[in-house]
Structure formats: structure tokens, C-alpha cells
Amino acid sequence: MVNEDADRSAEKQRAPLGDNGRNPPWPDEGVSNATAKRESSNPNEARIMEAVVERGNRRAALKRVEANKGAAGVDGMSTEALRPWLHEHWPRVKEELLEGRYKPSPVLKVEIPKPGGGVRQLGIPTVLDRFIQQALLQVMQPVFDPEFSESSYGFRPGRSAQQAVLAARAHVESGRTWVVDIDIEKFFDRVNHDMLMARVARKVEDKSVLRLIRRYLQAGVMDGGMVSERTEGTPQGGPLSPLLSNILLDDLDKELERRGHAFCRYADDCNIYVRSRHAGERVMASVTRFLEKRLKLKVNQGKSAVNKPSRRKFLGYSMTAHREPRLKAAPQSIERLKNKLRDKFRQGRGRNIGRFIEELKPILRGWINYFRLARVKGVFEELDGWIRRKLRCTLWRQWKRPRTRAKNLMKRGIAEARAWQSATNGRGPWWNSGAPHMNEAYPKKFFDSLGLVSLLNYLRSIQCSS
């Protein structure tokens, strides 16, 4: 039972090198001076870095980096160039890692628009640093993950955003009908390095690993050809950053568990479920103090709130206000999809409509696969109608002249007099795309024949098969 009063007091790429004898093996240099030194040191201290550079681990890391592809970093090296580069230079890199001398390159600053406005800053490491971070992640994840909270779902093996959403719905269904929605302001930009490293050191004794992680945290940021130092934050864009964020925020999870709260956390998105507004306000105040004093993080008061779950969104979903709440796509998520599709439709003017629909398919399928848990389906039918209308609008714009419009309407079975009347009505493309003459000329079955994905039908098929 939740004790709310506790807050009162508180991948398919080329085969790995050496596989089947088709590619040359990794150029291991045998037992180097660095390895010999480590074999004579504290075995507990040496274990992690040796596991990082071990052949099987680095093979898996290389395959993952190649499969993920991604942009080049400050050195311009592509993922395709990484394998041959490692074949030539790996012995030197390995020795530097084992001796604790390896220094990461600066990350490349990239800004991408946030769905809710503003920009998110990413730091793109070089492909070599992505490879080393991935190798580190594969060794460190099994060390930390088993002791993470059951209520933590982000960036963990076997866990997903959908599981977090289902857990949130279960908390509301159990009677916790108020949510404390906490937004940590610029979390990845404000992580305190000392705080984070102290928590990593609880389980990692290998000094070369600790030194390497701190160097990754402090690696400069290149923007416009200039490199600036970084004294706080862990840049989004590297394979290791999600694990480091979970390591730091695990302290928050453990504190919430100690207080007996029902909560769901996905990365820096945390929702706590309580039974009353009064309890929620008390929890908000106490958790804010904990984050600011213990973890040196700031809560965004403008985006955080105590409210009914039906009036908030969590990982793109919202809920109905029923006693047994049903999941639905949040209004913000629907508008985000529309904005994305509007951009595509602007790019699609003048394009063949069949080929354009082929480009829409992966966007629509990806979106509905994410929202497959939704049980409020009317909005999907509305979206289907809106997409078809946008396609009719695209056709009307392409025709341009009244003669062309009348001719194409007649080809689709509209009587000549009516076709000419519609083509010369003086109305705009959006009005005409919703008018009876375009709906009759280009009905739903026309777009179905071109392979247009129906969100409603696709959702039903997913739910029936699951």
C-alpha cells in the first residue's frame, strides 16, 4: 500500500572480423606491457576494462555501431570506414584503453527541434568513440541493471515505453487518480559530474574505466569549428549516456520506493501516482527538494504539475477519466503527427501520388505501432479522413487549371456539367478537397488500392493479432 504520508518527513552488416575466415582477424598484439601490468594489479580493479576490450565484446559493439549507422563526428569518419580503420589501429587504441591513456574526441554539437517547441542539443561522438562507449555499455549494463527499480523503464533491456504506460494505467485503475508529473529541466545538460561519478564508483573499481567515463563527460563540444569545455551534463547522442542517466536517477527511484510510492519513470520523465490533490502537492514539494538538494537537478515548474491523469500526457499517451481508464493518443501526439505529415505533403506537391503514398507508409505504420495500446479509436478514424483529404488537396493543387480539373474529374466519373461547375467554383484547394465532387471522384477505396495505410484498420489488425 502506498504510504503518501512518508513525504511529510521526507542489425545486418558484414560478418565480424575473423568470422568464417572471410575477413582478416582483429590485429591483437598478444600480451602487451599494459596487459602484463594489469595482470599483476588488483584483479577486481582490472576486470572491467579487460572485459571491455575482449574480442567477443568488441565484435558485438562493432556490429551494433555499424547497424545503427548515424552521422559522422568531428573527424568525419563514417560507420563504413570504422572496421578497416580498427583493423589497422586497434592495437594502439587497446593499449591506450588498458593503460588509461585514451582521450576521447570532442562531440559535434547538433540541434534538433523538440516536438513541443524549442531545440534539443545533441552531442554526436566520433564513430570510434561510439564503438568504445558501446563496448563499455555492454559490460556495465549487466553490472548496474539488475539493481535498478522495477518502476524504471527507459533504456533498459527487455523494457519499453509501452510497459511504462501500462503500469501507469494500472496505478490509476487502483485508485491513485492524481498524478505528480515531474519534468526535470534540461536534465542531460545539467548532470553534476561529481555526483554521477560517485554513483558509478559504487560498483566500478576499475580506475581506467572511471577515468575514461569522466573524460567522456568532460569531452569538449565542437560548434562552428570551435571547441568549448564542458563542466556539467552528459551529452545526448552517445550509447553510454542513457545508462549514466539511469545510474544517477536510480537514487530518485530508491527514495520513492523507500517512501512507498507508486511511480513510473522513463529516463528523465517521472510520474508519481497518489490518491488526492493534497497528497500530490506534498509529494511535488518534497521530491523537488530531494532532486535539487541531493542530485543538484532543477525541476521545471512551468512543465511540472499535479493533476488528473486524463489532463496530462505520459510518453505520448493520455487516459480517459473513467473508473477503469482507457489509454488514448494524447492530443499533443496527434498534432505532432499532423505537423510531420504537413511537412511531407509540402514536399510531395508535384509528385506522383502513388509513389508519395509509399513514402507515407513507414511513418504511419511506425506511429500506429507505438500507439497500439490505445483503446479510444475515434481519433484514428478522424486522422484517416484528414490524410485522405490532404491527398485530395494535393491532387487539386497539381491540376492547377480549371480545364485540367474538369478533365480529371470527368475521368473519375463526375458528369461533365458538374465537373466544369466544380472546376470553376473559385474555392481554394482545401475547400475543394473536402467537397462532394472530390470525395466521389477519389473515395477511400481509391486510396486503399494505392496501398494507403488506414490507421484504424491497422490498429485493429495489430490488436487482434496480439
Q: Is the pLDDT of residue 324 over 70?
A: yes
pTM of this structure? 0.84
Please state the rounded mean pLDDT for residues 256-282. Answer: 96
| Portion of the chain with pLDDT greater than 90, in percent | 76
- Residue by residue, what is the 3-state secondary structure of 435-448? CHHHHHHCCHHHHH
pLDDT for position 221: 84
Of the pLDDT bands very low, low, confident and very high (cuts 50, 70, 90), residue 115 is low
Q: Is the pLDDT of residue 41 over 50?
A: no
Please state the rounded mean pLDDT for residues 346-354. Answer: 84
Higher pLDDT, 254 or 223: 254
Please state the rounded mean pLDDT for residues 438-448. Answer: 96
Please state the rounded mean pLDDT for residues 440-462. Answer: 94
pLDDT for position 118: 67
pLDDT for position 321: 93
The residue with cell 504539475 is: 305
Indicate the range of 26-40, 98-112, 365-379 predicted with least confidence.
Answer: 26-40
CA dist., res. 69 & res. 79, Å (int): 6
CA dist., res. 345 & res. 285, Å (int): 45
CA dist., res. 442 & res. 405, Å (int): 13
Q: What is the mean pLDDT of the chain?
A: 88
How far lies 33's CA from each of 36, 135, 299, in Å? Answer: 5, 22, 49
pLDDT for position 9: 46
Give bridge partners of residue 314 from the DSSP assignment: 317
Higher pLDDT, 432 or 28: 432
Higher pLDDT, 208 or 30: 208
Q: Is the pLDDT of residue 23 over 60?
A: no
Q: Of the candidates 115, 58, 60, 67, which has an alpha carbon nearest to the alpha carbon of residue 90?
A: 58
Q: Is the pLDDT of residue 378 over 50?
A: yes
CA dist., res. 398 & res. 152, Å (int): 50
Q: Is the pLDDT of residue 216 over 90?
A: yes
